[in-house]
Chains A and B, each alone.
Chain A
Amino acid sequence: SAVISQKPSRDICQRGTSLTIQCQVDSQVTMMFWYRQQPGQSLTLIATANQGSEATYESGFVIDKFPISRPNLTFSTLTVSNMSPEDSSIYLCSVGTGGEYEQYFGPGTRLTVT
């Protein structure tokens, strides 16, 4: 298993600004992911955070809007850029570990854009 922490836990931001969310894992993991959960919706994968290379984005998500860093095997950041009210969501970091492709999730960051 893995213990994951995220900072901040919540934030209220103004339209047009950017917010960087941090994800810290208590052990080295190869696979780290970022998900978004819009109000009343289920989770959608934004991207895979690759250590030492650029993130791999899912359809509908682009690097300019959601730049991701992965400087080592225990840490990643997701930036939500030029925010609009539509970006109001819970953003969750997850890691994949073990041979069974099980995923573990952080507590999430609740973002409100006004």
Chain B
Amino acid sequence: KQEVTQIPAALSVPEGENLVLNCSFTDSAIYNLQWFRQDPGKGLTSLLLIQSSQREQTSGRLNASLDKSSGRSTLYIAASQPGDSATYLCAVDRGTYKYIFGTGTRLKVLA
């Protein structure tokens, strides 16, 4: 049974810091890994999708990497801003659209 874990569970950093969020999964037979952002009381916003054949994806200040063999992904946020404060979720899929979500990292960026 696939399990997805995210470390740390919560993180508080001063504005401007570069930071790394970690995601690990127990079954390496995945098709996709997707990173989402969730703002309090709101739905999810897709940030980056990495297919199993890819090693990383970049969008603006965000970079996500995938090491499928070791069951790990990282989300790197450069020059963090208060507007980045949110919960970040990673999720994996076997190519069925049925995503299994991680436990989330609550990020707070202090001005």
Chain A interfacial positions (CB closer than 8 Å to B): 4, 6, 31, 33, 42-45, 48, 58, 90, 92, 94, 96, 100-108, 110
Indicate if the CB atoms of A100 and B97 lie closer than 8 Å: no
Give the complex CA separation of A45 and B36 in angstroms.
16
Residue in contact with B43 in the complex, picked from A58, A100, A106, CB distance below 8 Å: A106
B99 within 8 A of A: yes
How far apart are B101's CB and chain A's nearest CB, in angstroms?
4
The secondary structure that dominates the A interface is strand
Q: How many chain B residues touch A (Cβ–Cβ < 8 Å)? A: 25
Chain B interfacial positions (CB closer than 8 Å to A): 31-32, 34, 36, 41-46, 49, 51, 89, 91, 93, 95-104
Give the complex CA separation of A110 and B99 in angstroms.
21
- Which residue in chain B gives the minimum CB-CB distance to A4? B43
